[in-house]
Amino acid sequence: MAEDKRDYYEVLGVDKSVSDDELKKAYRKAAKKYHPDLHPGDAEAEKSFKEVNEAYEVLSDKEKRARYDQFGHAGVDPNFGAGGGYGGGFGGGFGDFGDLGDIFGSFFGGGFGGGSRRNPNAPRRGNDTAASVNLSFEEAAKGCKKTVKVTKIENCNECGGTGAEKGTSPKTCPVCHGSGQVSATQRTPFGVMQTQKVCDHCHGSGKIIDNPCRKCAGKGRIRHTVEQTVEIPAGIDDGQIINLRGGGDAGVNGGPSGDLRINVNVRPHPIFERDGFDVYCEIPITFTQAALGAEITVPTLDGKVKFTIHEGTQPGDEFKLRGKGIQRLNYSGKGDQYVKINVEVPKDLSKTQKEKLKEFDSVTDDKNYRKRKTFMDKVKDFFNE
């Protein structure tokens, strides 16, 4: 919205009497703050960066600044009031600021201009893509094959990624000679400056396609969704990511493909829990089994195993089944399984059952209940009885 345009002086944080020098300083500071290379993917920063550049372009030009002072935005923007924005003309203007390029050069490792000077023919790696997969506890523990839907950009197989109809090939742009950039000389308050602009003729691609490929409309690339089979390694856990190198978007100009990153979700198991590669479960036994000892059946990931509970097993006692845990991810060997014993006290007893228990109780003494005996002794001590 044109009405929302901020005052140019306000954008740069200077007042109306600002000198050229101060203006330049303020611009450098603001441009550094919002530079897209420092805020990749941040639309707000990008907007601020454009705003800053726009403000500086006007205020650094004596004529434009005078018109702006007199008429406001309407004085400098031909589209003002007609609903059009300024942004369209901005594209290639990064190079307009002479020595500022050096500042950004050192600041951003030589890449001043957010890509405006990038060689359009240089190989570029494709973007990473993401997918997710839902696994059962056993599938994660033992590994499996899964099919995931992946949306990615691939080179058009019809034109081999060139964007030109089969049998033809793209021409080097005659205006920019393939660089995607054209130079222009511009007079500014700081002197005559060499300006780099995106080539209008080829829109920066450096190439002209006379007969665009019909399948990809000349883009050379097609986005589509494919079903991909993924090998899930044994031992993977919830929240981990499987990285498939080269499974992402195709690269540009022969650059390598990005990676496909698969987020792993593992559903909980009704019996087992997992910590690292160890498996935990809790088994309820009767108090008679606990008192007399028993052979019990223990579920493991590899099937049922028999285990002998010794006489006098207590609630919370734990035993370990060595090697019955989960396959170590990318290593040999397995974790262990830990089994915790829970002694269940019987409920809803019949009259006969209660009588039998009372009869049993009448023939027990402190020797049978050592923990209880020790505890009662401590209580007596505590109260000096």
Interacting residues toward Zn ion by CB under 5 A: 156, 158-159, 173, 175-176, 199, 201-202, 213, 215-216
Nearer residue to Zn ion within complex by CB, 39 or 215: 215
Closest approach, Cβ 223 to Zn ion, in A, equals: 13
Closest approach, Cβ 27 to Zn ion, in A, equals: 29
Tokens of 329: 């991810």
DSSP string, 334-369: B--EEEEEEEEPP-S--HHHHHHHHHHHHT--TTT-
SS3 51: helix
Closest approach, Cβ 209 to Zn ion, in A, equals: 10
Nearer residue to Zn ion within complex by CB, 175 or 283: 175
Element spanning 298, H or E: strand 294-300
Nearer residue to Zn ion within complex by CB, 67 or 215: 215
Nearer residue to Zn ion within complex by CB, 159 or 309: 159
Closest approach, Cβ 121 to Zn ion, in A, equals: 11
Element spanning 327, H or E: none
Nearer residue to Zn ion within complex by CB, 59 or 199: 199
Q: Which residue has the tokens 């703050």?
A: 33
Closest approach, Cβ 165 to Zn ion, in A, equals: 8
- Residue 356 CB contacts under 8 Å (≥ 6 apart), including other chains: none
Tokens of 123: 């190989």
CB atoms under 10 Å from CB of 88, counted, come to: 8
Nearer residue to Zn ion within complex by CB, 144 or 175: 175
Closest approach, Cβ 190 to Zn ion, in A, equals: 28
Closest approach, Cβ 124 to Zn ion, in A, equals: 18
DSSP string, 67-133: HHHHHGGGGT-TTTTTT--SGGGTTTGGGGGTTHHHHHHHHTTT-TTTTTTS-TTS-BPPPPEEEEE
Nearer residue to Zn ion within complex by CB, 135 or 182: 182
Question: Greatest CA separation found in the chain?
Answer: 111
